[in-house]
Structure 1
């Protein structure tokens, strides 16, 4: 079976062409959002992963989508406003709903299990709330500043609006990278979200919720870093 992608392809571009590839990257813990501008080969070498095995999995994911003829929406071609509305209704809504719940859970398990697992749980509590604060501010910047600029540009294109939007993008990309770093540290200190012996139901809910948060944020950041932002920057060029 001939591989669809190659090691020279950028990770973010692979997911942009085949969204189902994100499932493969999550399985192998490959960062396709903040690290989406790197070639697959470089990432695989750094993580000591078998290139042929990963390429085969990507090809299988691509072929499965093609066989089902379920390509979904092509966000590379969709209007900016449609992509923005999707990000807000899917990913922003998710964060607004889940962040307060995870705040309560991380605090609860720190109180209950801090004696036995204080070293890990204190870091989890601190890292999560640092992430939550950044995300709360980040959503406001996107919904109140960036997204209205992009929609205004789409309705009535002008170089002035485009430049303003791109200037905001530079700041948001830096924030995406910071969020990605925190997610990686959370996964590392929790030993891949493994609940230790004696962990209660709340412990399990917390770690499962953090893992789901990671997955959703990766998809969220991917849509912006690898599709929305590059499309706008290409217009300037």
Structure 2
């Protein structure tokens, strides 16, 4: 393997790779590499923490790079277009996903209460996730997104949203613990199977949602804010 070719991949952050290589997120899911809330860490650091051999991951990423995939580079798109995509692809989808998952979880917990593999407490946890996520999305829709669409980049609200993203990441970790990493028992019924299939979709969607905001939508505002700060400082020093 050509070390010169793979070195840039190892040095890039998980977030950079996830937003520039089509299909990279599926690989990161496979190896349980956190590319949303943990998206700032380099691939090399993330692999080292998991004690994973870089060769396999690098090989898969390089294979994806060689494929002719249609991939939307949201860094090159207008802010308003990205916001519209997030609202339709994630906000509305989460609002459809969670109520049904709560219903399925309640049914599974009721019917399989005596099963040692039953995800006891999952219904309450999903309900908490739904309430927290709904509050978060409403703040984005009513406050932050209109400001970004209007060319206003407020560091305070962005920091609040990033902190809440970390909390969503913690909620996903609890979800994994309650469901044995969303692993179905061998004799799972159709309702249990549908529930875990939906949970996997929710997890992947939420991680992708957070990734786009943390690594793309919120990055430009930070850069502009820093430029404004420097200009104000230079102006006051003259």
TM range (shorter): 0.7 to 0.9
Partner of 2:51: 48
Shift of 1:22: 1.2
Write out per-residue CA displacement over residues 162-209 of structure 1, whole angstroms, 9 at most, x where no aligned residue: 2xx321111111111111111122123322212224421111111111
Mapping for residues 132-151 of structure 1, pairs under 5 Å: 132-151=130-149
Mapping for residues 1-237 of structure 1, pairs under 5 Å: 2=2, 3-4=5-6, 5-64=8-67, 68=68, 70-117=69-116, 120-153=118-151, 161-162=152-153, 165-237=154-226
Instruction: Compute the TM-score of the two structures, normalised by the length of structure 2.
Output: 0.88
Write out per-residue CA displacement over residues 103-160 of structure 1, whole angstroms, 9 at most, x where no aligned residue: 1111111111112248x5223223222211111111101111111111111xxxxxxx
Matched positions, count: 223
SS at match of 1:114: coil
**Greater Cα radius of gyration, structure 1 or 2:** 2
CA contact (8 A) 1:21 1:62 kept: no
RMSD: 1.7
For structure 2, the 5+ residue unaligned runs are 227-238
Instruction: Compute the TM-score of the two structures, normalised by the length of structure 1.
Output: 0.88
Distance in 1, matches of 2:24 and 2:78, equals 23
Shift of 1:221: 0.6
Structure 1 runs of 4+ aligned residues shifted over 6 Å read none
For structure 1, the 5+ residue unaligned runs are 154-160
